Structure 1
Amino acid sequence: MNILVTGAGGQLGRDVVRVLGEQHEVKGYTRAQWDVTDEAITWKILTNTRPDVVVHCAAHTDVDRSQTDTAEAHRVNGRATRQLASACGILGVRLVYISTDYVFDGKKEDGYTELDRPRPINVYGRTKRLGERWVQRCCPQHMILRTSWLYGTHGRNFLSAVLSQAKQGGPLHVVNDQRGCPTYTRHLAQMIDRLIRLQAQGTFHTAHTGSCTWYQFAAAILQHAGYTDIDLQPISTAALDRPAPRPAVSVLHSVRIPKLGLSPMPDWREGLAAYFRDRQEGEET
């Protein structure tokens, strides 16, 4: 298939281009190459390339900045998604939209399936939910993939921040009252490939299975990296006093992926182990 990827300079976009490129004709566009907020550029790229699929990884993902700069979050996550979804719908292009666990309010203790009603509690979550609705409304051939707590070998993320602080000797103070599903971007890219091959449509939860708190995730990262003497302290979300509220529980379960005959993504601990293996192999080469 001929596949275009927006946000190809980001941690997920880079892995999507690499993984899908093993079997498909893939063109990744960085923000400089395709500003998704520019409707004219979106139409020009789509009409010139006539792709089979667009994987829309580009997004405004800074949760706290979204809370204080709501106009920019709406411009990127809302309006730009509407423009892209409308163009894909008119041209008959399949659209894969990457969404988030933050479309939920975090009050359901056992986590959320695709059947649960979204109730975002911050601007980031609301704008991503708005993007979902535009995709559903404007592009008949679509997939909405909600994922959680992404990390990868490229770019900045929670994992890289933990390792950076550990190299400086710590201490680390990490939130222990938010629970989610850390998800390795390469494994997510592989799931995207499988879903595209099946020509799946609709909304799917695509995160690693199992769950942990940020504190537990940090502890596992330090253990894998060999930092056994770092002072790691649990703290509350309230202690951080961040602009945007966070859902206490953003665990994602999928009831739809097994119905397609696909195995769920592995446990988050397996994803973390795979990350460190890939990182080691990359350093060796």
Structure 2
Amino acid sequence: MNILVTGAGGQLGRDVVRVLRAHHEVKGYTRAQWDVTDEAITWKIMTITRPDVVVHCAAYTDVDRSQTDTVEAHRVNGRATRQLASACGILGARLVYISTDYVFDGTKKDGYTELDRPRPINVYGRTKRLGERWVQRCCPRHMILRTSWLYGTHGRNFVSAILSKAKEGGPLHVVNDQRGCPTYTGHLAQMIDRLIHLQAQGIFHTAHTGSCTWYQLAAAILQHAGYTDIDLHPISTASLGRPAPRPAVSVLHSERIPKLGLPLMPDWREGLAAYFRDRQEGEEA
């Protein structure tokens, strides 16, 4: 298939391009190559390339900055998604929209399935939920993939930040009252490939199984990296005083993926181990 990937310079976009190229003709566009907020450029690229599938990885993902930069967050996650979804709907392309666990409020202690009602509590979550609704309204052939706590071998993320601070010697103070599903972008890209192959449609939760807190994730990262002498301390979310509220529980469960005959994504610990293997291979290459 002819597949376009927006946000191809980001940590997920790079892995999506790499994985999909094994089976399809893929063109990845970085932000400099395709500003998704420019409607004229979106229509030009779409009408020239006539893709079968568009994987929309481009997004405004700074959760705290979204609280004050609301206009830009809505412009990228809302309006730009509407423009792309409209183009896909008119041209008959399938749209894969990457969404987030932050569309939920975090009050359901055992986590959320695709059947649970979204109720975002911060601007980032609200703009991503708005993007979901535009996709549903404008593009009949769509997949909405909600994922959680993404990290990859490219770019900055929680894992790279912990490793950087550990290299400085610590100590580390990490939140221990938020629970989610850390998800490795390499594994998520493989799931996207499988779902595209099956021509799946609708909403799917695509995160690693199992769950942990940020503190527990940090402990696992330090263990993998061999930093056994770093002082790691649990703290509360409130103690950070961040602008954007976070859901206390944003664990994602999928009821729909097994119904397609696909296995669930592996446990988050397996994803972290794969990250370190791929990171080492990249450094040795």
Q: Give the TM-score category using the shorter length.
A: over 0.9
- Distance in 2, matches of 1:169 and 1:109, equals 35
> 1:1-285 counterparts in 2 under 5 A?
1-285=1-285
| CA deviations over 1:203-258 (Å, ceiling 9, x no partner) | 00000000000000000000000000000000000000000000000000000000
Structure 2, unaligned runs of 5 or more: none
For 1:136 and 1:14, how far apart are their aligned partners in 2?
Answer: 26
Aligned partner of residue 67 in structure 2, secondary structure: helix
Deviations 1:90-136 (A, max 9, x none): 00000000000000000000000000000000000000000000000
Distance 1:174 1:263 in 2: 32
Deviations 1:168-196 (A, max 9, x none): 00010000000000000000000000000
Structure 1: 4+ residue segments shifted above 4 A: none
SS, match of residue 8 in structure 2? coil
Task: Determine the C-alpha separation between the residues in 2 that align with 1:96 and 1:160.
Answer: 27
Deviations 1:125-174 (A, max 9, x none): 00000000000000000000000000000000000000000000001000
2:37 aligned counterpart, secondary structure: coil
Aligned length in residues: 285
Question: How big is the shift at 1:49?
Answer: 0.3
Q: Distance in 2 between matches of 1:153 and 1:22?
A: 19
> How far has the Cα of 1:281 moved from its partner?
1.2
Mapped partners of 1:3, 1:38: distance in 2: 20
Q: Percent same amino acid at aligned positions?
A: 91
> What is the deviation of 1:75?
0.3
**TM-score scaled to structure 2, two decimals?**
1.00
Q: CA deviation at 1:197?
A: 0.1
Mapped to 1, the partners of 2:84 and 2:282 lie a distance apart of 35
Question: How far is 1:282 from its partner?
Answer: 1.3
SS, match of residue 31 in structure 1: coil
Alpha-carbon distance between aligned partners in 2 of 1:75 and 1:42, rounded to the nearest angstrom = 14
Q: CA deviation at 1:31?
A: 0.3
Distance 2:70 2:9 in 1: 23
Give the distance between the partners of 1:154 and 1:243, measured in 2 at CA: 26
Specify every segment of 5 or more residues in structure 1 that has no aligned partner in the other structure, as ranges.
none
Cα distance in 2 for partners of 1:35, 1:275 equals 29
Q: Deviations over 1:44-102 (max 9, x none)?
A: 00000000000000000000000111000000000000000001000000000000000
CA drift at 1:284: 1.6
Please state whether the residue corresponding to 2:45 is helix, strand or coil: helix
Deviation at 1:14, TM superposition (A): 0.3
> In the aligned structure 1, how far is the partner of 2:284 from the partner of 2:10?
23
Aligned-residue offset at 1:280 = 1.1
**Alpha-carbon distance in structure 2 between the residues aligned to 1:9 and 1:206:** 21
Q: Distance in 1 between matches of 2:279 and 2:128?
A: 30
Instruction: Output the CA distance in 2 between the equivalents of 1:69 and 1:37.
Output: 15
- RMSD across aligned C-alpha pairs, in angstroms? 0.3
Q: Distance in 1 between matches of 2:269 and 2:169?
A: 24
Give 3-state SS (helix, strand or coil) of 2:162's partner.
helix
